[in-house]
């Protein structure tokens, strides 16, 4: 019976928890190494279950039986806590904050701010949990002859001993639970520990995105096999629950690939480059080409006489048209006008799709009819690298670009044509408008 209970045993929760407590309806039991160990309210069910099984269903039962059942739950979850603390201590060693450990009926969850993307670190953090149980189990096997008398061991069948209300029974129960916790969690059923170890090992060679896809596939295949075993081959309903847990967990983490996760929360105003050079529709390609010698900007928004955005002259288009028509060809005839409409509040992930669909390397960002800046693939990939390396906390230090109306006097001091020409570095986006 005990076997089905631990499996969920030792997930590393990746999703940062909403509150400092980690999960609603959970209560702090104690604190170790700066980590709150909490018990979820549903935990009473597992305690009640053990009390009922040992108090009513097993002989000799009664009040002492119920108490013995509760003792076994406490011992069992002490092993889960050891397992989770081992994960957490290793994570802390790598500088990762661990918020809490939460005990649920199906196991424990270490809620840490992030799982490191370096395969080596994820590998180590994930594997030490199951190893802690295997080592403990191994020690218990080694000292078995010293702790338990041979006569009590040989007194009955192992399963009889395991379910007997005795010191030997409790000892064997803890021993077997340790070995089970260690072995089961090493199954490559992502996002269980073994699945993370598997993913990390793959990521060394294949890179994390592909490794994650493979691990998710294998994890979900194993979850389906567990569910079938639970439903049709006597595995029990708990195995089915664990299978569902793994299947959904794999799905959630698979779609949470770091790049996607970082992008999902990002808005254009956080990554837009406000100081851009613009081209005017009256200019010719030669003028713009000359500017390219002194600029790292490759694509130029094209503005009309009133400062309204009319198109974008991409580097590819500039080169192609220069080759075909020469330097006197007008910008207005070379620019692309099929650029996607992008505002400051749009999600970067959405814009990225639009850019890919239209083969744009950069797009102008427009707010209330005015050009406020540019967003380029380079800018996005740079931001993703920074956030992946430094954590998403960096974002809080980044000032957002505001729409022109929210800023005072957008082009004070920029009355000359200079500001509107490519090559004239503009201090802020509003200044990219020509004076009209």
Residues near Zn ion (CB under 5 A) are: 10, 129, 193
C-alpha–C-alpha distance, residues 138 and 430, integer Å: 69
Write down the least CB distance from residue 40 to Zn ion, Å.
Answer: 17
Strand partners of residue 26:
40
Write down the least CB distance from residue 433 to Zn ion, Å.
Answer: 57
Enter the tokens of residue 80: 């889960």
Closest to Zn ion by CB, 96 vs 292, is: 96
Write down the least CB distance from residue 175 to Zn ion, Å.
Answer: 19
Would you give the distance in Å from CA 3 to the centre of its chain? 30
**Phi/psi of residue 157, each to 5°?**
-65, 150
Write down the least CB distance from residue 186 to Zn ion, Å.
Answer: 9
Write down the least CB distance from residue 184 to Zn ion, Å.
Answer: 10
Write down the least CB distance from residue 58 to Zn ion, Å.
Answer: 30
Decide if 113 contacts 158 (C-beta within 8 A).
no
Write down the least CB distance from residue 124 to Zn ion, Å.
Answer: 12
- Per this entry, what is the length of the chain? 436
Closest to Zn ion by CB, 192 vs 272, is: 192
Closest to Zn ion by CB, 193 vs 310, is: 193
Q: Among positive and negative, which fits the CA dihedral 49, 52, 58, 62? A: positive
Write down the least CB distance from residue 199 to Zn ion, Å.
Answer: 14
Closest to Zn ion by CB, 129 vs 137, is: 129
Compute CA distances 78 → 72, 141, 429, whole Å: 10, 18, 59
Residues 6+ apart with CB under 8 A from 416: 435
Closest to Zn ion by CB, 129 vs 404, is: 129
Write down the least CB distance from residue 19 to Zn ion, Å.
Answer: 23
Q: Would you call 202 exposed, middle or buried from its count of C-beta atoms within 10 A (0-12, 13-18, 19+)?
A: buried
Closest to Zn ion by CB, 134 vs 221, is: 134
Write down the least CB distance from residue 42 to Zn ion, Å.
Answer: 20
Closest to Zn ion by CB, 129 vs 311, is: 129
Number of neighbours of residue 255 by Cβ within 10 angstroms: 12
Decide if 131 contacts 32 (C-beta within 8 A).
no
Closest to Zn ion by CB, 86 vs 220, is: 86
| Closest residue to Zn ion using C-beta atoms | 10
Q: Among positive and negative, which fits the CA dihedral 52, 57, 58, 62? A: positive
Enter the tokens of residue 61: 């039962």
Closest to Zn ion by CB, 177 vs 420, is: 177
Closest to Zn ion by CB, 189 vs 271, is: 189
């Amino acid at each position: 019976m005990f076997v089905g209970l631990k499996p969920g045993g030792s997930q590393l929760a990746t999703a940062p928890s909403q509150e400092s407590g980690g999960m609603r309806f959970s209560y702090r039991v104690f604190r170790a190494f700066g980590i709150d160990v909490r018990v979820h309210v549903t935990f009473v069910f597992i305690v009640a279950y053990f009390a009922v099984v040992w108090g009513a269903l097993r002989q000799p039962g009664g009040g002492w039986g119920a108490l013995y059942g509760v003792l076994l739950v406490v011992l069992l979850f002490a092993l889960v806590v050891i397992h989770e603390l081992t994960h957490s201590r290793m994570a802390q060693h790598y500088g990762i904050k661990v918020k809490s450990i939460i005990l649920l009926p199906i196991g424990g969850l270490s809620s840490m701010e992030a799982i490191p993307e370096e395969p080596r670190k994820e590998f180590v953090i994930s594997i030490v949990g199951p190893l802690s149980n295997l080592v403990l189990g191994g020690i218990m096997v080694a000292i078995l002859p010293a702790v338990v008398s041979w006569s009590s061991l040989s007194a009955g069948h192992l399963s009889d001993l395991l379910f007997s209300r005795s010191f030997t029974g409790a000892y064997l129960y803890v021993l077997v639970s340790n070995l089970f916790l260690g072995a089961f969690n090493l199954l490559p059923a992502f996002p269980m520990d073994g699945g993370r170890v598997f993913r990390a090992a793959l990521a060394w060679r294949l890179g994390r995105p592909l490794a994650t896809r493979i691990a998710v596939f294998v994890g979900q295949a194993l979850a389906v096999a567990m569910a079938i075993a639970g439903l049709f081959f006597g595995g029990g309903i708990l195995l089915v629950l664990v299978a569902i847990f793994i299947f959904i967990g794999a799905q959630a983490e698979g779609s949470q690939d770091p790049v996607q996760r970082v992008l999902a929360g990002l808005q254009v105003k956080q990554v837009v480059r406000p100081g851009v050079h613009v081209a005017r529709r009256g200019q010719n390609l030669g003028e713009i080409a000359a500017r390219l010698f002194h600029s790292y900007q490759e694509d130029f928004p094209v503005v009309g006489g009133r400062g309204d955005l009319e198109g974008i002259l991409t580097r590819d288009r500039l080169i192609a048209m220069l080759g075909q028509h020469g330097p006197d060809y007008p910008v207005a005839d070379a620019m692309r006008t099929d650029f996607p409409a992008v505002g400051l509040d749009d999600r970067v992930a959405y814009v990225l799709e639009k850019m890919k669909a239209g083969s744009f390397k950069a797009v102008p960002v427009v707010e209330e009819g005015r050009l406020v800046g540019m967003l380029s693939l380079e800018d996005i990939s740079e931001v993703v690298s920074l956030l992946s390396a430094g954590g998403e906390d960096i974002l809080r230090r980044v000032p957002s670009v505001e729409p022109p109306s929210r800023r005072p006097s957008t082009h004070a001091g920029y009355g000359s044509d200079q500001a509107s020409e490519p090559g004239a570095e503009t201090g802020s986006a509003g200044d990219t408008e020509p004076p009209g």
